Structure 1
Amino acid sequence: MKKQPFNVVYEDNHLLVVNKSAGILVQGDKTGDKTLTDYCKDYIAKKYNKPGAVFLHPVHRLDRPVSGLVVFARTSKGLERMMELFRKRDIHKVYWAIVKRKPRVKSGKLTHWLVKDEKRNVVTAHDHEVPGSQKAELNYKTLGFMNDHWLIEVRPTSGRPHQIRVQLASMGCPIRGDVKYGFAKANPDASINLHAFNLVFVHPVKKEKLFLRAAVPEEEFWEQFLEFEEIKAKDQHLDNTFSG
């Protein structure tokens, strides 16, 4: 049975937030494959019986082999305000990554300067600023060990292409399945074990705080790590400070 390209996590007149399956493009590329944006436009058109073009724009992207939360704007006002939240870094993102090698330090902050080779679609991380580089920062914490792999929680404070993938690889912990950044072998479905798990932000129109969670992919390997998810009545993620 073919897996669904996405599941709806949150929806109102202004936003559509979905849990993307690994292997789906968010926006078009040279492959010409059907994109998450296309699938979501079809969903909106069918659900609301909308003839003609549907206004729906992704506010950010996830790499094709990555699963998890993607935010779409359904109105131009929603798009403009969500873009501003991302620009100001008022969106708090939590990812889960599974790696084979134990991080040398259990938790910490990584800072690199990234350079993207557009032709090869590969990003290189540098310890110091170099010409054409963009600064990338993330906080990480090792959550636990299972089945010969380590689960890492990652909270990026910037949103650079391939950032989490190349930064974890730079500390000797390439993500499971990510042969592009040094993992030994690919996953059978060409996914990598990186999942956009949580998003926290204030709704751009309603001004309510949203705490969104995307279930991990429905497969045994991913689901075994759910025992490391801490459930608290007053979750620290809801705190405005969100220091990570």
Structure 2
Amino acid sequence: MKLIFENNDFAIVTKPAGMNFHSEDEAGFVVLASDMLKCKLYPVHRLDKMTSGLVILAKSSKVANDFLELFESRKIEKHYLALSLRKPKKKMGKIVGDMAKSRRGSWKLLRTKQNPAITRFISKPLSSGAILFLVKPYTGKTHQIRVALKSVGSPIAGDMRYAAVEDAKELDRGYLHAYILKFDLNGESYSFKSLPDEGELFLTQECQEKIKELYSEQE
């Protein structure tokens, strides 16, 4: 866990992979971040247990409501990094579809588009055979990115819920990382970026270089 930014209104803290967001049997990310900064923090979005990276934590209920309004009006730009061991059906594009609950807490993508999850992605192959994705979700549905990448044939490496067992069991983490956050708040523009600092596949020199290539292509 690392503090990236802090002011009187909010903090940006990185969540480690494998840590529960909310407390269950042990203290979760929000409680640990509050202890670290010695103040009450209000989560305005969340990351799945397997996902690492940038999280916004408000310092008051008023600021939390301001962030919730930004999320609801899609005025917070988010980019994620993901790795898959399976080649996608297409190298880039947009995935659009309603999401519905499936079995045992999983979700599935539907063909209907009444209130759809919208996800854009681009990808680059690595010499190891893995595929690196830069993903931009335009909506914030539960398991959205995990389900979207599975739908194009590339479940996230290490994802015990959506990837094949052989693609998940032997890996040291689930390979999804909240990489970039951009938003305007109270007349100021903010932009944060955090490269993954854990996970053998993320930390190879080739993967780090490809991450920079992918992002520069989007700027």
- Is TM > 0.5 for Structure 1 vs Structure 2? yes
Deviation at 1:187, TM superposition (A): 4.7
Deviation at 1:55, TM superposition (A): 2.7
Query: Which residue number in structure 2 is paired with residue 147 of structure 1?
Result: 128
Matches within 5 A, 1:62-101: 62-101=47-86
Query: Which residue number in structure 2 is paired with residue 241 of structure 1?
Result: none
TM-score (norm 1): 0.81
Query: Which residue number in structure 2 is paired with residue 122 of structure 1?
Result: 106
Asked whether the 8 Å contact 2:42–2:59 carries over to 1, the reply is: yes
**AA of the residue aligned to 2:181:** L
Asked whether the 8 Å contact 1:10–1:18 carries over to 2, the reply is: yes
**AA of the residue aligned to 1:165:** R
Matched, 1:57 2:42: yes
3-state SS of 1:229 partner: helix
Matches within 5 A, 1:161-180: 161-180=142-161
Gaps of 5+ in 2: none
Poorly superposed stretches of 4+, deviation over 4 Å: 187-190, 234-237
Aligned residues: 215
Larger Rg: 1
Once the two structures are aligned, what percentage of the paired residues are identical? 31
> Take 2:151 and 2:110, find their aligned partners in 1: how far apart are those partners?
9
Deviation at 1:183, TM superposition (A): 2.8
> Take 1:192 and 1:78, find their aligned partners in 2: how far apart are those partners?
31
Query: Which residue number in structure 2 is paired with residue 196 of structure 1?
Result: 178
Asked whether the 8 Å contact 1:59–1:72 carries over to 2, the reply is: yes
Query: Which residue number in structure 2 is paired with residue 36 of structure 1?
Result: 29
RMSD over aligned Cα, in angstroms? Answer: 2.2
Deviations along 1:117-150, one digit per CA (max 9) or x if unpaired, are 5x82211211125xxx851010000134231101
Query: Which residue number in structure 2 is paired with residue 240 of structure 1?
Result: none
Asked whether the 8 Å contact 1:19–1:215 carries over to 2, the reply is: no
**AA of the residue aligned to 1:226:** Q
Query: Which residue number in structure 2 is paired with residue 110 of structure 1?
Result: 95
